[in-house]
Amino acid sequence: MKTLQKILAGLIAITGLSGLSGCVSEMAAVTTAGELGPDDIAIVGKIEIVPPLDKFDQSGLKTLGSGKFKGKVQIVFDTKQPPATYYLGGYILTESQASYSGYQGRNASISVGTILVPGGLKFHTANKTRALYIGTIRYYRDDYNTITKVRVINQYKSANREFRERTGAKFNLQRVKTTRFKMKPLNPMGG
């Protein structure tokens, strides 16, 4: 199967704020199935954060593009893990040391918060797939935004119906089996 060439952000229904990225895809949102190229695959699903972020936690988004990232998430797909000497962010496993101590001058600075969600999900697809349904990936968080539990919920029937109505597709979503795969933590020192 060829490498996924486009991530069709317009087809992903996002209900929770998961984070934002400094480097944003330049791809336009796809709204009809006819816009899919011969090697493109639509990824359809939902990502939820439970409990949802309150308005105060989302207030910093207005300074970064007038709120266009509110309620959105960027997902990066690849067929292999990037080499340890080149990476975006880091994958270092540690215990949470979060606390509420300290002072931040909100009026004098722009702060960016992130919620790191577990990745390492593998989607098993068939050849000639046009659209995948990955389910609702629900991340449960604590008061310190540490992810405490992950559930994948199947809402295939309603998602398939909505996909066909919104895009005019003459084909159904393909259900995929979602599994976790082991990822080696990336070493920021390159060793």
Note the pLDDT tens digit of each residue in 38-57. Answer: 878 888 888 888 998 777 76
pTM of structure: 0.58
Q: Which of 13-17, 109-113, 143-147 holds the top average pLDDT?
A: 143-147
Count Cβ atoms below 10 Å from residue 162 Cβ, excluding itself: 14
Distance CA 29, CA 33 (A): 12
Contacts 24+ apart (CB under 8 A), 3-6: 3/78, 3/79, 4/40, 4/41, 4/77, 4/78, 4/79, 5/37, 5/39, 5/40, 6/30, 6/37, 6/40, 6/41
pLDDT reported for residue 42: 82
Domain spans of the chain?
9-180
Name the amino acid, one letter, at 46: K
